[in-house]
Amino acid sequence: MKKTIMLGISLLASLFFGVYLLFLKPPQVMEARVFSDEEVSGLTADRICFPAEMSVDLLIDGVKAPYEETEKRYYIPRNLEEDRWKGQISATVDGHPASVVWKDDEAFENIGDAVAGGHVFECIIYNDTGYKRVSVLFTGLPVMCIDGNMGENGSKVTVFDPVKSLRKDYQTEESFAYYNIRGNASKRFEKLGYRLELLEDDGSEGRKLSLLGMRIDNDWQLKAMYSDRSKLRDKLSIDLWNQIAERTGSRTDAGCKMEYLELFINGTYQGLYGLVEPTDYKSLSLDREKDLIYKVASDEWPNDALFEESERTQSFSCAGVNIRQAGKIYTDGMWEPFRRFWKSGYEMESEEDLQFLYDCIDRQNFIEYDLYYNAIAGMDNRFKNIIYSTEIHTDGSCTIRRIPWDQNYSWGDDFEQGKDKDIKNIRYNPELAGRWLNEEVFRNMQKYDPQLAGDMEETWKEWRRTFLKEEYWKTYARELMSYLTDSGAFARDSAKWPDSGNVEGTEEIEAFIDERFVWLDEYLGSLRAET
């Protein structure tokens, strides 16, 4: 009987505590109380505004929150797929701890609409004698801040991520870093792409962190996506290639990964970016000592004289082709595998040349790469923007595989023609949905390999039976667009870079998918019938 009474008392206590938490506990956002207008008035009545020269900072988990100097506004990432508020905000005044409360706002009741619409909230930072009202905007994307001079060591990078982090709670990361402009093409645009290298506290190389749920690494790329009005094409293309690569059983054709964020540099909002893992020896599971990565970055074709010159001068570059160094020391013969591939593939004149090519490439990978850039109509991925993953075997032979990168001219976007073309040199071209794209090596393979058309169709049919379904990729495009628009980031990027011509919606991409996949079904069937 006594045990029954005690159990009843315990249950009642738990019930009352639950009621307290539900009805009596003051509302909080990121562990800071929400004050009514009356409470805010009472708080500020006997305090004075902090003078402008005082340093007043809002912190997320002890790290200064992203702050836009022109707007005089903090940006705080929030995971819109979760009801709970992750992370803890706090404040300092001239480096000393201070208190912080939120001003009550009806928009807290529908935070999704508030984030999508860029609603500005207000919080009050205060101590015993003074206070400051600060503006806060919540975003649905992770945020990266870079502070420091470009091209110089000693910069600092900070990442705030409650969205993609593999941790259960808010992930904030700080590191010294080096950053510089990435890509020759992006230098033409107002909105720049960047390469980012994380550094140890003493400035040495090799600081490795997992960012946005991706791999642990020290080298990262920031894609500006300036010329892609949808901001979806690179992401769609990267994820499609990774689905293809996952089915091959070979890690040496794995692609990179990309996640979205909003970027600040030295207190200035830069817009929507894609944070990208590099495709390198690590991601491709290659041996840094013996294997090689060749990267074709431009339309400049090599030849025998240029190969010989690069060998003579021990250069890691030959025309538009580069060897990824990754700490490598130049050794004689580094250009020989690619030179063999080039000679037999691009200068093929007989079945003997074809066999020589097949001795140094993964034929199935070349089929998959050809079908891939045709599926997305990758206009800029036929000769350049290709990484050649090259395994060197103990007998001196090699296996070369193709991996794509920079796939922004895709899913219906084409080169703009004419002398009055825009600097972005890009336009949507619906005619691409019904056009076969080819390049020199694969054209030569088709000429001398009678089995190729059949193997292409069989591979394509397997894709269509499994992962290459129209509705899946259209739905995925809509989900990505919703992620960008619901976060508020798409609208902010459009306002920041109006010349980018951002178009909210997926109509063009969906129309391309509907026509393109079916057209390729028919074309590959007819190609096989012809042979």
pLDDT string in tens for the chain (531-residue length): 444 544 444 544 444 444 444 444 569 999 999 999 999 999 999 999 999 999 999 999 999 999 999 999 999 999 999 999 999 999 999 999 999 999 999 999 999 999 999 999 999 999 999 999 999 999 999 999 999 999 998 899 999 999 999 888 899 999 999 999 986 666 678 899 999 999 999 889 889 999 999 999 999 999 999 999 999 999 999 999 999 998 887 777 788 899 999 999 999 999 999 999 988 888 889 999 999 999 999 999 999 999 999 999 999 999 999 998 777 789 999 999 999 999 999 999 999 999 999 999 999 999 999 999 999 999 999 999 999 999 999 999 999 999 998 999 999 999 887 777 776 788 999 999 999 999 999 999 999 999 999 999 999 999 999 999 999 999 999 999 999 999 999 999 999 999 999 999 999 999 999 999 999 999 999 988 887
- Hey, how many other C-beta atoms are within 10 angstroms of the C-beta on 218? 17
Indicate the length of the chain as a whole number: 531
d(C-alpha 516, C-alpha 510), whole Å = 10
Residue 10, C-beta contacts closer than 8 angstroms, at least 6 positions apart: none
Establish if 360 belongs to a structural domain: yes
249 with 352, same domain: the answer is: no
264 with 350, same domain: the answer is: no
Beta carbons of 211 and 226 less than 8 angstroms apart: no
345 with 236, same domain: the answer is: no
The one-character DSSP state at 254 is -
d(C-alpha 495, C-alpha 271), whole Å = 9
| 183, amino acid identity | G
Query: Degrees (nearest 5) of the Cα angle 275, 371, 462?
Result: 105
Dihedral through CA 100, CA 102, CA 103, CA 106, nearest 10?
A: 180
Return the closest-CA partner of residue 203 out of 182, 218, 220, 221: 218
Beta carbons of 456 and 367 less than 8 angstroms apart: yes
Establish if 365 belongs to a structural domain: yes
Alpha-carbon torsion (38, 39, 45, 49), positive or negative: negative
d(C-alpha 101, C-alpha 173), whole Å = 25
Strands 73-77 and 130-139, by their bridges, are parallel
428 with 447, same domain: the answer is: yes
What DSSP assignment string belongs to 354-374?
HHHHHTTB-HHHHHHHHHHHH
d(C-alpha 93, C-alpha 114), whole Å = 28
Choosing from 83, 116, 138, the residue where a domain stops is: 138
392 with 486, same domain: the answer is: yes
Establish if 240 belongs to a structural domain: yes
d(C-alpha 31, C-alpha 27), whole Å = 9
426 with 375, same domain: the answer is: yes
Range of the domain at 226: 143-273
Beta carbons of 170 and 160 less than 8 angstroms apart: yes
Beta carbons of 200 and 174 less than 8 angstroms apart: no
56 with 90, same domain: the answer is: yes
Tokens 């509907």 -> residue: 514
